[in-house]
Amino acid sequence: MSRTQSLLAIHLVALCFGVCGILGEVIQADAAFITWGRAMFAVVALTLFGKFLGTRPVHPVSASHRWRALLLSGAMLAVHWVTFFVSVKVGGIAVATLGFASFPAFITFIEWAILREQVTRAEWVRLLLVSVGLVLVTPSLSLDNAGTTGLLWGLVSGATFGLLAVINRRSLAGVDALQVAGVQNLVVFLLLCPWALPSVGAVSLNSWFWILVLGVICTGLAHLLFVSSLRQLHARTAGLVVALEPVYAIAFAWMLFGQTPGVRTLIGGCIMIGAILSASLAIKNAN
Protein backbone atom coordinates (compact mmCIF):
# COMPACT_ATOMS: atom_id res chain seq x y z
CA MET A 1 0.00 0.00 0.00
CA SER A 2 1.04 3.62 -0.58
CA ARG A 3 1.20 6.04 2.34
CA THR A 4 -2.20 7.48 1.41
CA GLN A 5 -3.74 4.01 1.18
CA SER A 6 -2.14 3.12 4.51
CA LEU A 7 -3.70 6.18 6.10
CA LEU A 8 -7.15 5.24 4.76
CA ALA A 9 -6.65 1.67 6.02
CA ILE A 10 -5.75 2.95 9.48
CA HIS A 11 -8.94 5.01 9.64
CA LEU A 12 -10.94 1.90 8.71
CA VAL A 13 -9.14 0.05 11.49
CA ALA A 14 -10.17 2.82 13.91
CA LEU A 15 -13.81 2.34 12.89
CA CYS A 16 -13.57 -1.44 13.39
CA PHE A 17 -11.90 -0.99 16.77
CA GLY A 18 -14.66 1.42 17.78
CA VAL A 19 -17.25 -1.27 17.09
CA CYS A 20 -15.30 -3.63 19.38
CA GLY A 21 -16.34 -1.64 22.44
CA ILE A 22 -19.98 -1.84 21.39
CA LEU A 23 -19.75 -5.61 20.91
CA GLY A 24 -18.02 -5.96 24.27
CA GLU A 25 -21.11 -4.40 25.83
CA VAL A 26 -23.54 -6.58 23.84
CA ILE A 27 -21.84 -9.97 24.27
CA GLN A 28 -22.91 -11.74 27.46
CA ALA A 29 -19.62 -13.39 28.40
CA ASP A 30 -16.52 -12.54 30.41
CA ALA A 31 -13.51 -10.75 28.95
CA ALA A 32 -11.35 -13.86 28.60
CA PHE A 33 -14.05 -15.76 26.69
CA ILE A 34 -14.78 -12.85 24.35
CA THR A 35 -11.08 -12.55 23.58
CA TRP A 36 -10.70 -16.32 23.06
CA GLY A 37 -13.67 -16.51 20.70
CA ARG A 38 -12.55 -13.41 18.86
CA ALA A 39 -9.11 -14.89 18.23
CA MET A 40 -10.56 -18.26 17.17
CA PHE A 41 -12.79 -16.75 14.49
CA ALA A 42 -9.99 -14.40 13.43
CA VAL A 43 -7.66 -17.34 12.75
CA VAL A 44 -10.35 -19.00 10.62
CA ALA A 45 -11.00 -15.76 8.72
CA LEU A 46 -7.31 -15.11 8.14
CA THR A 47 -6.84 -18.67 6.88
CA LEU A 48 -9.63 -18.10 4.35
CA PHE A 49 -8.11 -14.74 3.37
CA GLY A 50 -4.79 -16.54 2.90
CA LYS A 51 -6.30 -19.13 0.55
CA PHE A 52 -7.81 -16.32 -1.50
CA LEU A 53 -4.47 -14.50 -1.63
CA GLY A 54 -2.44 -17.66 -2.23
CA THR A 55 -0.53 -17.65 1.07
CA ARG A 56 -0.72 -19.24 4.53
CA PRO A 57 -1.24 -17.14 7.66
CA VAL A 58 0.60 -19.65 9.88
CA HIS A 59 3.84 -21.08 8.53
CA PRO A 60 7.50 -21.18 9.65
CA VAL A 61 9.78 -18.16 9.41
CA SER A 62 13.53 -18.43 8.90
CA ALA A 63 14.76 -16.30 11.79
CA SER A 64 14.31 -17.51 15.38
CA HIS A 65 14.24 -13.97 16.75
CA ARG A 66 11.17 -13.31 14.61
CA TRP A 67 9.41 -16.30 16.12
CA ARG A 68 10.18 -14.91 19.57
CA ALA A 69 8.78 -11.56 18.47
CA LEU A 70 5.64 -13.23 17.11
CA LEU A 71 5.07 -15.12 20.37
CA LEU A 72 5.71 -12.03 22.51
CA SER A 73 3.44 -9.88 20.37
CA GLY A 74 0.71 -12.54 20.57
CA ALA A 75 0.94 -12.50 24.36
CA MET A 76 0.73 -8.68 24.35
CA LEU A 77 -2.32 -8.89 22.10
CA ALA A 78 -4.02 -11.29 24.53
CA VAL A 79 -3.40 -8.98 27.49
CA HIS A 80 -4.53 -5.96 25.45
CA TRP A 81 -7.85 -7.51 24.47
CA VAL A 82 -8.68 -9.00 27.87
CA THR A 83 -7.95 -5.75 29.72
CA PHE A 84 -9.92 -3.76 27.14
CA PHE A 85 -13.06 -5.88 27.59
CA VAL A 86 -12.66 -5.78 31.38
CA SER A 87 -12.53 -1.99 31.04
CA VAL A 88 -15.74 -2.01 28.95
CA LYS A 89 -17.56 -4.22 31.48
CA VAL A 90 -16.38 -2.19 34.50
CA GLY A 91 -16.22 1.42 33.32
CA GLY A 92 -18.39 1.60 30.21
CA ILE A 93 -17.65 2.08 26.54
CA ALA A 94 -16.58 5.76 26.61
CA VAL A 95 -14.10 5.33 29.48
CA ALA A 96 -12.68 2.08 28.06
CA THR A 97 -12.09 3.43 24.57
CA LEU A 98 -10.60 6.71 25.79
CA GLY A 99 -8.29 4.78 28.11
CA PHE A 100 -7.18 2.60 25.21
CA ALA A 101 -6.63 5.75 23.13
CA SER A 102 -3.68 6.55 25.38
CA PHE A 103 -1.52 4.05 23.51
CA PRO A 104 0.15 6.66 21.24
CA ALA A 105 1.67 8.09 24.41
CA PHE A 106 3.12 4.69 25.28
CA ILE A 107 4.44 4.24 21.73
CA THR A 108 6.17 7.62 21.85
CA PHE A 109 7.68 6.86 25.27
CA ILE A 110 8.93 3.41 24.23
CA GLU A 111 10.50 4.68 21.00
CA TRP A 112 12.10 7.67 22.73
CA ALA A 113 13.22 6.15 26.06
CA ILE A 114 14.10 2.61 24.99
CA LEU A 115 14.73 2.69 21.25
CA ARG A 116 16.30 6.18 21.31
CA GLU A 117 14.35 7.40 18.30
CA GLN A 118 13.96 11.11 17.70
CA VAL A 119 10.59 12.61 18.60
CA THR A 120 9.62 15.94 17.05
CA ARG A 121 8.33 18.91 19.02
CA ALA A 122 4.93 18.55 17.35
CA GLU A 123 4.71 14.93 18.51
CA TRP A 124 5.53 15.95 22.09
CA VAL A 125 2.78 18.57 21.94
CA ARG A 126 0.29 15.96 20.72
CA LEU A 127 1.42 13.63 23.50
CA LEU A 128 0.85 16.39 26.06
CA LEU A 129 -2.64 17.05 24.68
CA VAL A 130 -3.53 13.35 24.88
CA SER A 131 -2.33 13.31 28.50
CA VAL A 132 -4.41 16.38 29.38
CA GLY A 133 -7.42 14.77 27.74
CA LEU A 134 -6.96 11.64 29.85
CA VAL A 135 -6.84 13.69 33.05
CA LEU A 136 -10.15 15.31 32.13
CA VAL A 137 -11.69 11.95 31.26
CA THR A 138 -10.80 10.44 34.67
CA PRO A 139 -14.09 10.38 36.64
CA SER A 140 -12.49 10.40 40.09
CA LEU A 141 -9.17 9.92 41.86
CA SER A 142 -10.74 7.18 43.99
CA LEU A 143 -10.25 3.54 43.03
CA ASP A 144 -13.70 2.87 44.48
CA ASN A 145 -15.16 4.63 41.46
CA ALA A 146 -16.06 2.11 38.73
CA GLY A 147 -15.26 4.61 35.99
CA THR A 148 -11.75 5.21 37.33
CA THR A 149 -11.12 1.48 37.71
CA GLY A 150 -12.34 0.97 34.16
CA LEU A 151 -10.03 3.73 32.93
CA LEU A 152 -7.03 2.08 34.61
CA TRP A 153 -7.85 -1.18 32.85
CA GLY A 154 -8.11 0.83 29.64
CA LEU A 155 -4.66 2.32 30.23
CA VAL A 156 -3.19 -1.18 30.64
CA SER A 157 -4.89 -2.09 27.38
CA GLY A 158 -3.36 0.98 25.72
CA ALA A 159 0.13 0.24 27.07
CA THR A 160 0.15 -3.35 25.78
CA PHE A 161 -1.22 -2.26 22.40
CA GLY A 162 1.52 0.37 22.17
CA LEU A 163 4.16 -2.28 22.82
CA LEU A 164 2.49 -4.53 20.24
CA ALA A 165 2.64 -1.78 17.60
CA VAL A 166 6.35 -1.17 18.24
CA ILE A 167 7.16 -4.90 18.04
CA ASN A 168 5.22 -5.18 14.77
CA ARG A 169 7.15 -2.30 13.24
CA ARG A 170 10.63 -3.01 14.63
CA SER A 171 10.87 -6.81 14.64
CA LEU A 172 8.23 -8.06 12.21
CA ALA A 173 8.48 -5.59 9.33
CA GLY A 174 9.95 -8.28 7.06
CA VAL A 175 7.28 -10.89 7.83
CA ASP A 176 4.13 -11.20 5.72
CA ALA A 177 1.30 -9.18 7.30
CA LEU A 178 -1.14 -12.07 7.00
CA GLN A 179 1.24 -14.36 8.84
CA VAL A 180 1.82 -11.84 11.62
CA ALA A 181 -1.91 -11.47 12.19
CA GLY A 182 -2.49 -15.24 11.93
CA VAL A 183 0.20 -16.28 14.40
CA GLN A 184 -0.65 -13.54 16.89
CA ASN A 185 -4.31 -14.55 16.96
CA LEU A 186 -3.37 -18.24 17.23
CA VAL A 187 -1.20 -17.43 20.26
CA VAL A 188 -4.10 -15.54 21.86
CA PHE A 189 -6.45 -18.48 21.23
CA LEU A 190 -4.06 -21.05 22.72
CA LEU A 191 -3.16 -18.93 25.75
CA LEU A 192 -6.79 -18.41 26.76
CA CYS A 193 -8.05 -21.96 26.22
CA PRO A 194 -7.75 -22.92 29.92
CA TRP A 195 -9.99 -20.02 30.95
CA ALA A 196 -12.45 -20.07 28.05
CA LEU A 197 -13.21 -23.74 27.37
CA PRO A 198 -15.16 -24.37 30.62
CA SER A 199 -17.62 -21.59 29.62
CA VAL A 200 -18.35 -22.71 26.04
CA GLY A 201 -21.74 -24.26 26.83
CA ALA A 202 -22.94 -21.26 28.85
CA VAL A 203 -22.71 -18.71 26.03
CA SER A 204 -25.90 -17.96 24.10
CA LEU A 205 -26.24 -18.27 20.31
CA ASN A 206 -26.78 -14.52 20.08
CA SER A 207 -23.47 -13.86 21.82
CA TRP A 208 -21.74 -16.42 19.57
CA PHE A 209 -23.01 -14.52 16.53
CA TRP A 210 -21.57 -11.22 17.75
CA ILE A 211 -18.29 -12.93 18.68
CA LEU A 212 -18.20 -14.19 15.08
CA VAL A 213 -18.63 -10.61 13.78
CA LEU A 214 -16.00 -9.42 16.23
CA GLY A 215 -13.53 -12.09 15.11
CA VAL A 216 -13.97 -11.90 11.34
CA ILE A 217 -14.50 -8.19 10.65
CA CYS A 218 -13.24 -6.31 13.69
CA THR A 219 -10.26 -8.62 14.24
CA GLY A 220 -9.21 -10.62 11.18
CA LEU A 221 -9.74 -7.88 8.60
CA ALA A 222 -8.83 -4.98 10.90
CA HIS A 223 -5.69 -6.70 12.21
CA LEU A 224 -4.50 -7.44 8.69
CA LEU A 225 -5.03 -3.81 7.64
CA PHE A 226 -3.26 -2.53 10.77
CA VAL A 227 -0.16 -4.67 10.30
CA SER A 228 -0.05 -3.87 6.56
CA SER A 229 -0.27 -0.11 7.16
CA LEU A 230 2.80 -0.20 9.40
CA ARG A 231 4.85 -0.97 6.27
CA GLN A 232 4.40 2.70 5.29
CA LEU A 233 3.43 4.57 8.46
CA HIS A 234 5.45 5.21 11.59
CA ALA A 235 4.14 3.27 14.59
CA ARG A 236 3.37 6.33 16.68
CA THR A 237 1.77 8.11 13.71
CA ALA A 238 -0.45 5.12 12.94
CA GLY A 239 -1.19 4.92 16.65
CA LEU A 240 -2.50 8.46 16.78
CA VAL A 241 -4.87 7.75 13.89
CA VAL A 242 -6.18 4.50 15.38
CA ALA A 243 -6.81 6.44 18.59
CA LEU A 244 -9.83 7.88 16.76
CA GLU A 245 -11.57 4.72 17.98
CA PRO A 246 -13.30 6.56 20.86
CA VAL A 247 -15.07 8.87 18.41
CA TYR A 248 -16.86 5.97 16.79
CA ALA A 249 -17.35 4.00 20.01
CA ILE A 250 -18.79 6.91 22.02
CA ALA A 251 -21.09 7.90 19.15
CA PHE A 252 -22.40 4.33 18.79
CA ALA A 253 -22.82 3.94 22.57
CA TRP A 254 -24.70 7.23 22.69
CA MET A 255 -27.11 6.19 19.92
CA LEU A 256 -27.56 2.51 20.82
CA PHE A 257 -27.39 2.39 24.62
CA GLY A 258 -28.05 5.96 25.71
CA GLN A 259 -24.63 6.14 27.39
CA THR A 260 -24.30 9.92 27.34
CA PRO A 261 -20.75 11.07 28.22
CA GLY A 262 -20.34 13.86 30.77
CA VAL A 263 -19.01 17.34 30.00
CA ARG A 264 -15.50 16.55 31.28
CA THR A 265 -15.40 13.39 29.17
CA LEU A 266 -16.50 15.31 26.07
CA ILE A 267 -13.92 18.05 26.62
CA GLY A 268 -11.13 15.56 27.28
CA GLY A 269 -12.17 13.48 24.29
CA CYS A 270 -12.24 16.55 22.02
CA ILE A 271 -8.70 17.50 23.09
CA MET A 272 -7.46 13.99 22.35
CA ILE A 273 -9.28 13.87 19.02
CA GLY A 274 -7.82 17.25 18.07
CA ALA A 275 -4.31 15.86 18.59
CA ILE A 276 -5.17 12.80 16.51
CA LEU A 277 -6.59 14.83 13.63
CA SER A 278 -3.49 17.01 13.71
CA ALA A 279 -1.35 13.91 13.20
CA SER A 280 -3.55 12.77 10.31
CA LEU A 281 -3.22 16.19 8.64
CA ALA A 282 0.56 16.09 9.06
CA ILE A 283 0.67 12.72 7.28
CA LYS A 284 -1.47 14.01 4.43
CA ASN A 285 0.72 17.08 3.95
CA ALA A 286 3.85 14.89 3.90
CA ASN A 287 2.56 12.86 0.94
pLDDT for position 219: 86
pLDDT for position 33: 97
151 in Cβ contact with 99 (< 8 Å): yes
The CA distances from residue 138 to 9, 95, 209, 222, 228, in Å, are 30, 8, 33, 28, 33
pLDDT for position 216: 92
Domain count of the chain?
A: 1
pLDDT for position 53: 66
User: For residue range 90-107, what is the model confidence (pLDDT) as tens digits?
Assistant: 988 888 888 887 787 788
User: For residue range 143-157, what is the model confidence (pLDDT) as tens digits?
Assistant: 678 888 998 999 999
DSSP 198: G
Residue 195: exposure state from Cβ atoms within 10 A (0-12, 13-18, ≥19): middle
Question: Given 3-state DSSP classes, what are the helix, strand and coil percentages for the chain, each rounded to the nearest 5?
Answer: 80, 0, 20
User: For residue range 66-77, what is the model confidence (pLDDT) as tens digits?
Assistant: 788 889 999 999
Residue 118: exposure state from Cβ atoms within 10 A (0-12, 13-18, ≥19): exposed
Residue 231 has pLDDT above 60, yes or no: yes
More confident residue, 63 or 114: 114
Residue 271: exposure state from Cβ atoms within 10 A (0-12, 13-18, ≥19): buried
Spatial distance between the Cα atoms of 260 and 265, rounded to a whole number of angstroms: 10
Q: Which domain holds residue 203?
A: 3-286
The CA distances from residue 89 to 34, 54, 84, 126, 188, in Å, are 12, 39, 9, 29, 20
